[in-house]
Structure 1
Amino acid sequence: MPLPALPRRAAYITLNTPHRRNALSLDELRSLKEQLIKHNTSPTTGRTLLLPPFKPSILSKLERSHASLSSPPSPSPSSPGASSHSADHSSEDEYSWLVSARSFARARAGLPAVLVLAAHGPVFCSGHDLRELRGLAPALVVARVSGPAVAAGCQLALTADLPVAHADTPFRLPGAALGLPCSSPVTAVSRRLGAARAFGMLALAEDVRAAELGGAVRVVTGGAGPEERVAVLDAKVGRMVERLVGMSPQQSAMGKWAFWTQTGLRGQDYLGPDGDGVEGSGGDGYQDAVEWAGRVMALHAKSEDAKEGMDAFLEKRAAIWHGLG
């Protein structure tokens, strides 16, 4: 059955080996990687645009990058009015596309704002040979979990930004029952579901319905049979994608990076806005995360799309995002 059409500025990343239950073989992993790279590589410049590492210290580079964009260019002595680009601007310019909506539109012209991870066939994904997969795509990734998510498939689904499944869809880490616990897949599962739930899945190797995952997976209900359930799922995914592509893609990308970065703040030392070390507050890192995220909010507020969003709200009209070009 063909996958439903997606709105403009959205694209599929697909698992396409239903005859092998969409098991993540080396070839399938290569295919997923190639699709991700394709959807994040500029067709104009050939540059691959991924989010920076989820490290708090990167924020200082983003702040400097925005400052360099906001500063008027220095005239060159030999060419009045020409821009002077010193060597220390090269690393700052690396991230200009992430902090400026207009730069984002130029850099990512022709690339999707939302990616939908989907599988052909009745099984979303099975197998135990998934290696580390990171969600560094600036586009938000929706996982359309249309069938059982087993072992690496469970990991893959829960690595997505927004997994969606029918309430009765099973998620399972079966390895312990085979004498080979799913110690690699459970890394992603534990970070999405929490230690207690994830360890229960690891130890018992039993099915857990999507409805039992405590909101970690968005669920749909209804449908008398498999085809009807998939139709209900597709309708939900379609509505979500339609809403997501209507957001500012630059601000969504920045928000995604900031969210996953702040979850890693656990009271440890990190770099402040001046590049000097900041002593962590200890505890669960909440105070550090609040202070760090305050700096992110300041960057959000400087984006052209923040001003456009506020103007549109006050003028009671739809926003026209600069990040869309």
Structure 2
Amino acid sequence: MTKDKPMDILLRQDRDHIAHLTLNAPDRLNALSDAMLAALQGALDQIADDTAIRAVIIAGNGKAFCAGHDLREMQAGRQAGDGGAAYFADLFARCAAVMQRIQSMPQPVIAQVHGIATAAGCQLVATCDLAIAADDTRFGVNGVNIGLFCSTPMVALTRNIPRKAAFEMLTTGRFIHTDEATRLGLINRAVPATDLADETHNLAQTIAAKLPVAVKIGKSAFYDQAQLSTAEAYAYTSAVMVENMMVRDTDEGISAFLEKRAPDWS
């Protein structure tokens, strides 16, 4: 099923229970403009309620994955009577809502990254549940180079990579390549650019083949338990395991495994 139009700022194509979202503003390096953020929010909200979709891939058209916020739009916002303060507050709130939506939706979201992922674009990579990158991709939270510390991208970054590595990137504006991004945990792995789409789709297919309700329960618990102490996390996840065990299809899956047959999942 295809849901895209050539001129749309965000393209959607569904295949194999996977929603492929493509940032489609290559002339702006797929910047997270007002229109792009609105399109992403709308698509993610729609997909979250779509039980036919079991995984999501976010990619970018053109030579870059995403170069962050649209600086031209941001500067235009300064024309308001308050110098842009209200617009900037709203912009960063809308961006934060998109990032939080990615992690709150039931389906795992995979970033398919190429070219560059900078500032809020790097934030998007760090926010996605998984990330596969072309082996020549560069990542940076380089706002400091133009006098704007990447404070909101810092939230996702510091939850992905060691703090000292994150702080160095944030304060120096230094770009890292895929080998370092993999070692630090920003991405899962890097592959040749020619294999990027297939590798990402194959990962999404592997996830889509699992019991959807189990993945939904697990994704929610994955983020929730990370905010708790060890004792609290064990108490919480024990309750989650009980919830999962009470699902009819989980009973069927375990029985099928023991009986050495394919599960008859509803």
Which category of TM-score, normalised to the shorter sequence, fits these structures?
A: 0.7 to 0.9
In the aligned structure 2, how far is the partner of 1:290 from the partner of 1:242? 30
The 5-angstrom pairing of residues 269-308 of structure 1 reads 285-308=229-252
| 1-structure distance, mates of 2:61, 2:104 | 24
User: Quick one: distance in 1 between partners of 2:203 and 2:141?
Assistant: 28
Give the number of the structure with larger relative contact order, counting CA–CA contacts within 8 Å between residues 6 or more apart: 1
- Deviation string 1:243-273 (CA, Å, 9 cap, x unpaired) is 11100111101100001000001xxxxxxxx
Identical-pair percentage: 34
> In the alignment, is residue 112 of structure 1 matched against residue 53 of structure 2?
yes
Contact 1:251 1:305 in 2 (8 A): no
Q: Compute the displacement of 1:318 (Å).
A: 2.7
Distance 1:4-1:34 versus aligned 2 partners, 3 A rule:
closer
Q: Which of 108, 126, 134 is residue 140 of structure 1 equivalent to?
A: 108
- Paired residues for 1:21-60 under 5 Å: 21-41=29-49
Q: How does 1:45-84 map to 2 (within 5 A)?
A: none
1:223-262 matches, within 5 Å, as: 229=193, 231-262=194-225
Structure (1 or 2) with the greater helix fraction: 2
Deviations 1:105-157 (A, max 9, x none): xxx3xx31111111111100012365202121111111111221010100011
Residue correspondence of structure 1 range 171-250 to structure 2 within 5 A: 171-213=139-181, 214-222=184-192, 229=193, 231-250=194-213
Q: Is the 8 A contact 1:123 1:149 kept in 2?
A: yes
Q: Is the 8 A contact 1:7 1:242 kept in 2?
A: no
1:309-320 correspondence to structure 2 within 5 Å: 309-320=253-264
| Structure 1 residue runs without a partner (length 5+) | 43-107, 223-228, 266-284
What TM-score results when the alignment is normalised by the length of structure 2?
A: 0.80
Choose 1 or 2 for highest CA Rg: 1
1:126 maps onto 2:67 in alignment: yes
Label 1:237 to 1:320 Cα distance change in 2 as closer, same or farther (>3 A). farther
Shift of the alpha carbon at 1:242?
1.4
Relative distance call for 1:142 and 1:202 in structure 2 (3 A) is: same
- Asked if 1 retains the 8 angstrom alpha-carbon contact of 2:178 and 2:190, the reply is no
* Separation in structure 2 between the aligned mates of residue 127 and residue 7 of structure 1, nearest angstrom: 28
Q: Distance in 2 between matches of 1:234 and 1:314?
A: 36
Q: 1:41/1:293 Cα in 2 relative to 1: closer, same or farther (>3 Å)?
A: closer
**Cα–Cα, structure 1 residues 221 and 11, in superposed 2: closer, same or farther, change >3 Å?**
closer
Unaligned runs of 5+ in 2: 1-5, 71-91
Aligned length: 228
CA distance in 2, matches of 1:262, 1:168: 34
Where do 4+ consecutive residues of structure 1 move more than 3 Å?
2-7
Offset at 1:302?
Answer: 0.9
Q: Tell me the C-alpha RMSD between the 2 structures.
A: 2.0
8 Å contact kept, 1:118–1:143: yes
**Aligned equivalents of 1:127 and 1:221: distance in 2?**
23
Task: Name 1:264's counterpart in structure 2.
Answer: 227
Name the aligned partner's letter for residue 23 of structure 1.
A
